[in-house]
Chains A and B, each alone.
Chain A
Amino acid sequence: MANSLSSGMGSAHMGRVTATPLAPRSPLPDTTAAIVAEDLRLTLGQGSAAVEILRGIGLQVPQGQRLALLGPSGSGKSSLMAILSGLERATSGRLQVAGADFAGMNEDGLARARRGRIGVVLQAFHLLPTMTALENVTTPMELAGMAAPRARAEAELTAVGLGHRMTHYPAQLSGGEQQRVAIARAIAPRPVLIFADEPTGNLDAATGRTIVDLLFDRQAETGATLLIITHDASLAQRCERVVTMADGEIVSDTLTTVKASDTLA
């Protein structure tokens, strides 16, 4: 694990390490890392209308790491997250997530690979409006064929402080409560990876802080790897590693804590 980011890595500073993207075409170095990406490219549209969204991203994320993805709008961070979480397929490149080779999978294969291993929290919550909070949390575990999904969902909702709102529908919950349900839904199956796309973007500052605390607490308890997209620098500071993107490329990759530097050479 210690070498997971060493290949092609730049200099490491005291408490703050800048990493450069992995060199293209190198063999995938560590199959136990949560994410190993190599030369990921995404082009949308064809011919003269083609737009290159991602231009050769290389990234390794060790298990259990908290990583913040920063960057201006249009820098490609949401697209990168979509590819890493299996929501979208890269145009080219190699990608291994939670031990599965994503590059060779079709849309359905990616859906199966997400089951129980990857949790996603989105800015607009994306709860299923026709289901109660409890049913929303139960559903991914049922899709994954897990045992006792209801009991686990109840426990998780209690853990996020919504034990009293289980039978409420999304429309009957506040924004903060909806995002708690979304976090419970992402974490209940005990995934190895959690992706959060601007989880506080639709919330006021105070609620946002509470939600982040909750997300980090639940992540710490489960030991999952967390990749969070944010515009909020203070939120990024709470992560062990900050990756900044611009114009479809990683422009900086920084370790922010001693714990993070422990994982780097």
Chain B
Amino acid sequence: MPETARIAAALPWSTAWTIARRDLSARFRGLRLLLVCLFLGVGAIAAIGTLTGSIEQALGSRGQAILGGDIGVNVWQRSLTPQESAAVHALGRVTDGIRLQAIVTNGDATAPVALKAVDRQWPLYSRLELKDGRKVGAPPPGEAWLSEGTLARLGARVGDTVAIGGMPVRVGGVIARDAEQLSEGFALGDTAIVGLDMPRRAGLTALGAMYRTKLRVALTPGLDPQATVDRLQARFPDAGLEYRTRDKAAPGTNKFVERMGQFLVLVGLAALVIAGIGIGGGVASYLEARRASIATLKVLGATSTDIARIYLLQIAAAALAGSLAGLVAGVLVTPLLAQALGALLPVSVGLLVSPTALASAAVYGLLVALVFAAPPLLRARDYPAMAVLRARVAPLKVARKALALPVLGGLAGILALTLVQSSQPKMTLGFLGGAAAMLALLALVGWGIRRLAARLPRPANPLLRSGLANLHRPGAQTGALVTALGFGLSAFVLIAAVETSLDANIRRTVPQRAPAYFVLDVPRDRADDFRRTVAATVPAAKVRLIPNLRGRILAYGPANAMTRVADLKTVPDGAWALQGERGLTYSDTVPEGNTLVAGRWWPQGYTGEPLVSVDQDFAKAIGLNVGDRLTISLLGVERSARVASLRRIDWDSLGFNFVLVFSPNTLRDAPHNLAATIDLPGKANAPTLLPRLVRAFPSSSVIETGSLLRDARDLLAQMSTAILAAASVAVIAGLAVLTGAIAAARASRTYDTVILRILGASRAQVLLLQLAEYTLIAAVLAVVSLAIGSGLSWLVIDRLFGFTWLPDWPRVLAVLAAGLLLVLVVALAGSLPLLRTKPAQALREL
């Protein structure tokens, strides 16, 4: 008996690797489609993750400079009380400041600015950079630092005198970069920096004005920011003070970056799934070409498990190489991406290696490879040894049970990884569900087209006939191509249609519905004066003036069991109004655009128990009912009211909308100003209204809706570019699938071409034949992508956003045409080797 050694149940992995490595071409010949697809998908996700990571890191590491201190203390419409101030000043070095919305004028030219008044201690960390290279702190008395944009709007230069809130100031310098910009929050207009006492002297901080006091503290060494804030909060629980710490200097920006990053990762993941189709096709052709080798290995004693191990190792090696290359490219491309996205990014980012982002991209890549490579691998495992003797063997079926573990396991892994990383699991699930539905729909369409092509009458034109036949011939990849290319192209159409619809809404619909001007801080005693000033310029203008106060909700619920907001560990979904200070108003009548849905409105001139009307969505989120009580803090004073009614707000009305509207007797005595909206009749142009209002009401801020909309459109265009860039990876992955399909069909195409050439076809005719086939596919793709993409865009715009669906068709079609042209060019370029085939030589080799 010869030495048979141990007859192991399965080949040890080390031996399997020895055999796998021998059989694997050093240049991954045959597995390049897998390599390219993973490179693209993993590269896209790695680039997005790295970019998001580097922005988050920049925000985190520069928290002190962004906040302008270790902790920040803000309060609306007042200064700190002596006790509060003493407590804050005991913590370290302090800089005091004020922020408010204001108007700068230079003659008739006006510009809204976010006015930032700072004391001599400012800034505690770093210095302000001016365009002329100076590094400075607060401007000297009577001077202001303005932005280049503001100066351009005013037509002013350094040294000129302009007016802020009616008070003359000299332009002392141009702001180059304010490190604190990100922590300042939303503001209309660029920052203008002045000395601390300027707003007070200009009368901008009169009682009731909408300003914010902002203190920044450089803590005495040894004090922990969060612990310090906790102590302050415990000492002044109901003072309405808002706190920031240096590690959460710009929470809004952080959240935006995180959400945008997650969304782009999802788009990248969708691209990776498309790449997965290429991976499946690539692995299938690779293993098909290795049928003989697999059968020979079986003759030599390899079991199906051994075969699975050997080829799994080969595929894993190629997948690893593709993923690694993708990771490297993802990191290297980040600075370029950052440059391309430019103004959309809150901070400038450098080259960064974020291990979590890279690990997650690699895991995504390998899981997608597993899901798509498993079916062909399991099929190859069962190639019989007999194949060495018999050319034809019965077609192999893969046991569904065997497929369940790798495919379902891989899909579950992808889902788990995505959900773990997501801060909005519902949105993520929705996106994944939508993408899966779109893929399923495309697969169905691809199958249908194949069936239809087989049943259509044969065209008389031989080229068209042959092109049509290629759509349904055995082994035709029509289904895979429609799915892979259709997904990317549909995404192109979807993005273009959504973007142009949103843009059209902002450009056309919103201006028709939104007021022409918003005005803040109209003094209460000058309401009639304000109406008169507007009427004198545009008699038909519609002015709406409402009281505008700020306060925070302290407690809510049934009178005997009220919930204190300070005790809440987490804020319920949809209860955003519980956070920080919110706009409050009072009114004798139900506000315009609001509908009462529960309870009753108080009568005109009501003087009884203080009452409040609450937005029904907010009431639902916190479980508030008519009859319950609500306590607010207004300028540090507690006020309580009974919930008299619930309202439905039509947010589309684009005017001032308040979650809480009180009965006038509840708030009227509190110091406050008015806010106003001005609607101009038709498309009236009133160039003199703005300067006249600014002159008459220097302490008020007049904001043109038009400039707001311009900013919104710019932001939209930039975001859509970012999303389009991520989606273009899906199109490139689709092109890789196309290239793979062409390569896989090369042998049979060569045969066709040779036969046609022997029968007398010219090269031009062969080229036309290819063109006819791919034009047919492109035409099908055009219809499918247009239908799916625009259908989905209608869902997003009409159903999700509630806007009017207004795609810019020439632009949408241009985007689609560009994508299709790319498909045709790649397809024809891939077919060129066929034209060079010499019939005699090919016949010898076939």
Contacts and interface: CB of A to CB of B under 8 A. Distances in A.
Interface of A: 78, 82, 85-88, 99, 107-108, 110-117, 120, 122, 124, 126-132, 135, 139-140, 142-147, 185, 189-192, 197
B11 interface: yes
B301 A115 contact: yes
A122 B23 contact: no
29 contacts: A85-B299, A87-B385, A87-B388, A87-B389, A88-B385, A99-B1, A107-B298, A108-B305, A110-B385, A111-B303, A113-B7, A122-B299, A122-B388, A126-B292, A128-B293, A128-B296, A129-B293, A130-B293, A131-B23, A140-B300, A143-B19, A144-B4, A144-B5, A144-B7, A145-B7, A145-B12, A185-B300, A189-B2, A189-B3
Given A82-B386, A142-B18, 17 more contacts: A88-B384, A107-B384, A107-B385, A108-B303, A110-B385, A111-B306, A116-B2, A116-B301, A122-B299, A126-B295, A130-B24, A139-B300, A144-B7, A145-B15, A146-B3, A190-B3, A197-B389
Given A112-B7, A142-B18, A87 B2 contact: no
B22 interface: yes
Given A126-B296, A128-B293, A112 B303 contact: yes
Given A116-B3, A131-B23, A192-B1, A140 B293 contact: no
A120 B3 contact: no
A111 B298 contact: yes
B6 interface: yes
A139 B2 CA distance: 17
Contacts of B386: 82, 87-88
Contacts of A197: 389
A115 B8 CA distance: 10
A128 B2 contact: no
B25 interface: yes
B297 interface: yes
Nearest to B293: A128
Contacts of A139: 19, 22, 297, 300
Given A87-B389, A191-B2, A131 B22 contact: yes
A132 B386 CA distance: 24
Given A128-B23, A142-B15, A142-B18, A111 B302 contact: yes
Interface of B: 1-8, 11-12, 15, 18-19, 22-25, 292-293, 295-306, 382, 384-386, 388-389
Contact of A146 (B5, B23, B24, B299): B5
Nearest to B12: A145
Contacts of B296: 126-128
Nearest to A147: B5
Nearest to B6: A145
A127 B12 CA distance: 23
Contacts of A146: 3, 5
B300 A143 contact: yes
Given A130-B293, A131-B22, A116 B384 contact: no
Contacts of B382: 107
Contacts of B4: 115-117, 144
B3 A87 contact: no
Most buried by B among A78, A111, A112: A111
Contact of A122 (B6, B305, B389): B389
Contact of A130 (B25, B295, B300): B25
A126 B388 contact: yes
Contacts of A147: 3, 5
State the 10 A-B residue pairs at the shortest beta-carbon distance, nearest first.
Answer: A115-B301, A140-B300, A108-B303, A116-B4, A190-B2, A145-B5, A143-B301, A87-B385, A111-B303, A130-B23
Most buried by A among B11, B301, B384: B301
A104 to B, nearest CB: 15
A88 to B, nearest CB: 5
Nearest to A85: B299
B542 to A, nearest CB: 81
Contact of A112 (B12, B25, B301, B385): B301
Nearest to B306: A143
Contacts of B299: 85, 87, 114, 120, 122, 126
Given A88-B386, A107-B304, A131-B23, A145 B8 contact: yes
A122 B385 CA distance: 12
Contact of B302 (A122, A124, A143, A190): A143
Nearest to A195: B299
Contacts of A130: 22-25, 293
A88 B382 CA distance: 13
A156 to B, nearest CB: 13
Contacts of B3: 116, 146-147, 189-190
Nearest to A192: B2
B301 A114 contact: yes
B6 A117 contact: no
B301 A144 contact: yes
A110 B385 CA distance: 10
A73 B15 CA distance: 39
A120 B388 CA distance: 11
A219 B557 CA distance: 96
A203 B298 CA distance: 25
A135 B5 contact: no
A197 B299 CA distance: 13
B740 to A, nearest CB: 21
A254 to B, nearest CB: 26
Contacts of A120: 299-300
Contacts of B11: 143
A58 B301 CA distance: 25
A200 to B, nearest CB: 17
A185 B300 CA distance: 9
Nearest to B301: A115
B220 to A, nearest CB: 71
A115 B385 CA distance: 13
Contacts of A145: 5-8, 12, 15
Given A112-B303, A126-B292, A126-B299, A117 B2 contact: yes
Contacts of B306: 111, 143
A99 B7 CA distance: 14
Contacts of A122: 299, 388-389
Contacts of B298: 87, 107, 111
A108 B12 CA distance: 16
Nearest to B302: A143
A107 B297 CA distance: 13
A71 to B, nearest CB: 15
Nearest to B304: A108
A127 B297 CA distance: 9
Contacts of A127: 296
A144 B304 CA distance: 14
Given A108-B305, A115-B4, A139-B19, A128 B297 contact: yes
B301 A111 contact: yes
B218 to A, nearest CB: 68
Nearest to B382: A107
A19 B70 CA distance: 102
A82 B389 contact: yes
Contacts of B8: 145
A131 B24 CA distance: 9
Given A87-B299, A111-B301, A78 B19 contact: no
B451 to A, nearest CB: 27
Contacts of A114: 299-301
Contacts of A191: 2
B388 A135 contact: no
Contacts of B5: 116, 144-147
Nearest to B2: A190
